[in-house]
Amino acid sequence: MNEFLTISPTFYGMSIVPKKYWKDYGFALLTIAGADGDVSDPEMDWLTEDLGQSLKVGTDLIAAWEEFDWENADLGEIFQRLNPNQIANYSKLMLYDAIRMSYADGDFSDKERESVDECARILKVNKETVMAMEALVEMERAADKLRQTIL
C-alpha cells in the first residue's frame, strides 16, 4: 500500500502527505462537524466524495471515516496522534476544511463554530485567522451560487 497521497498543490499548496495522517484528519473533521449532534448526509458526502475523491484516499479510508464514532471522540486525543510539523500549514488547512465541511449542509451551526474555535485553540491559530477563513468559505459559497445562477 502506498504510504503517501498525492494531492493538488494548486489547491492545498502541497503535493505529498503521508497517508496515515488523512485517517485522523477525517476523524477530526467528523468530530467538528458532528458537534451539533449530527453529521448530515451533505457533510459526510463532502468528506467522502469531495475531499476523499480529490485525495484518492481509497475505499479503506472512506470506510474508516464512515464507521468512526465521532460522537464519543475527543479532538485533543485525535490531534495528539497527528504531527502538524509533518504537514505544511496543517493547522490552517484543518480549520479551513472543518469550516467547509460544516457548511456543506448549508448551516454552520453555533455548536460547529464552537468546535472550530476549540480546534483553533488546540492548534494555536488566532481568532482573526479563523474569522478570515469563515469569510473565505462564505465568499466561495457565494461565488459557487452565482456561477450556478448564471450558468
128 — phi, psi (to 5°)? -60, -40
Which segments in the chain show pLDDT lower than 70?
Answer: 1-18, 83-88
The per-residue pLDDT for 52 is 87
Rounded to an integer, what distance in angstroms lies between the CA atom of residue 17 and that of residue 3? 9
17 — phi, psi (to 5°)? -135, 135
The per-residue pLDDT for 64 is 95
The model's pTM: 0.85
Rounded to an integer, what distance in angstroms lies between the CA atom of residue 63 and that of residue 135? 32
The per-residue pLDDT for 10 is 46
Sequence-distant (6+) residues with CB within 8 A of 38 are none
Per-residue model confidence as pLDDT tens digits over 40-58: 999 999 999 998 887 778 8
Domains of the chain in start order, with CATH, are 4-150 (1.10.3680.10)
